[in-house]
Amino acid sequence: MAAAGPTAVLSSGKTMPLLGLGTWQSTSEQVINAVKTAIDAGYRHIDTAWVYGNEKDVGQAIKEKIAEGKMKREDVFVTTKLFYTFHRPERVREAMLKSIGRLGLDYVDLYLIHNPQCFKYGTSPAEVFKPSADLERLFDDVDHVDTWKAMESLVDEGLAKSIGVSNFNSQQLERLLQNCRIKPAVNQVELHPYLAQQDLVDFCKKNNILLTAFSALGAPARPKSFASGEEEPVLMEDPSVVAIAKKYGKSSAQVLLRYHLDRGVSAIPKSVTPSRIQANFDIMNFSLSKEDLASLGQLDRKLRYVGANLFVKHKFFPF
């Protein structure tokens, strides 16, 4: 893969660019333009999911860039995710085929179990995310190991080049590691200086699982229902982050993204603003000193911006 920017070799043997573009919470037109801008800026890793409702747009933008001769299919790393209602092993392939159909691709580079918590087949995203006192009636309790075996079959079939998980804690990962044929290559979780999760970082490093940081900029536009409800400081305005950014002549966002690369972690900042998409990728010409990484490390306050209170009654709630 002719990737721009630093890459990691996954346990699957495949190469993944560490910096990717997130696509959650954008309109169709925004996603198409964002993905095309990102590819022009050098990104070769795009993150989407069934539940973002934009796989078709991501696929269209990629197709257009391939048609322009900007890159080949094998030059771009595409991640999508198994929605919560498809954990039953017999449903996994169905979900995968629908996702790659919408993307218009023959395979995805990475397929993730989006969440450990699962819901009954047929439950709509609207029902899953609608605040409701009796949400529990929609919960399912499929063992992750059973879902994982179906994920492994997707690799055998060539539909997914690598497989992984998202929002799993280390006990849930350990269980998969003990019972798998193919190791989870990636765990995608919320990660930033306010939620440093050093134990999880160490666990994943030890087990050769690459961590990908979502909401790396502090998810300033997260939906209210995803927020913790407590007063939440704005990560990009943190005085230490601002001071470090000033020192390097960079923006807070650039420092927050560089923090992950310097920690050996992947990051997938979302933006639909061309200047931000470009600036977020323009972080290859500096790295943070040990001292600055350590001072960012001291900001940890175990603050989870996204999903801290979602599905807490589910038996697989990971946090």
Ligand X SMILES: NC(=O)c1ccc[n+]([C@@H]2O[C@H](COP(=O)([O-])OP(=O)(O)OC[C@H]3O[C@@H](n4cnc5c(N)ncnc54)[C@H](OP(=O)(O)O)[C@@H]3O)[C@@H](O)[C@H]2O)c1
Instruction: Enumerate the active-site residues.
Output: 52
With contacts defined by CB under 6 A, name the span among 21-29, 57-65, 101-109, 201-209 that binds ligand X: 21-29
Q: Does residue number 279 form part of the binding site for ligand X (CB under 6 A)?
A: yes
With contacts defined by CB under 6 A, name the span among 116-124, 137-145, 153-161, 263-271 that binds ligand X: 263-271
Q: Which residues of 24-55 are buried (b: 16+ CB within 10 A; e: fewer)?
A: bbbeeebbbbbbbbbbebebbbbbbbbbbbbb
Q: Specify the residue, 11 or 278, whose C-beta has the smaller distance to ligand X.
A: 278
Residues numbered 143-162 forming contacts with ligand X, rule: CB under 6 A: none
Handedness of CA 257, 260, 261, 265 (dihedral sign): negative
Among 53, 116, 269, 318, binds ligand X (CB under 6 A): 269
Q: Specify the residue, 60 or 117, whose C-beta has the smaller distance to ligand X.
A: 117
Q: Does residue number 167 form part of the binding site for ligand X (CB under 6 A)?
A: yes
Q: Specify the residue, 123 or 167, whose C-beta has the smaller distance to ligand X.
A: 167
In the complex, minimum distance from the CB of residue 114 to ligand X, in angstroms, rounded to a whole number: 6
Q: Whose CA is closest to 176, among 212, 203, 215?
A: 203
Q: Is residue 114 part of an annotated ligand binding site?
A: yes
Q: Does residue number 218 form part of the binding site for ligand X (CB under 6 A)?
A: yes
Q: Does residue number 51 form part of the binding site for ligand X (CB under 6 A)?
A: no
Q: Specify the residue, 72 or 124, whose C-beta has the smaller distance to ligand X.
A: 124
Among 221, 229, 290, 291, binds ligand X (CB under 6 A): 221
In the complex, minimum distance from the CB of residue 230 to ligand X, in angstroms, rounded to a whole number: 18
In the complex, minimum distance from the CB of residue 69 to ligand X, in angstroms, rounded to a whole number: 27
Residue ranges for the known binding site for substrate are: 114
Binding site for ligand X (CB under 6 A): 22-24, 47, 114, 166-167, 188, 214-222, 251, 253, 268-273, 276, 279-280, 306
The annotation places the binding site at: 114
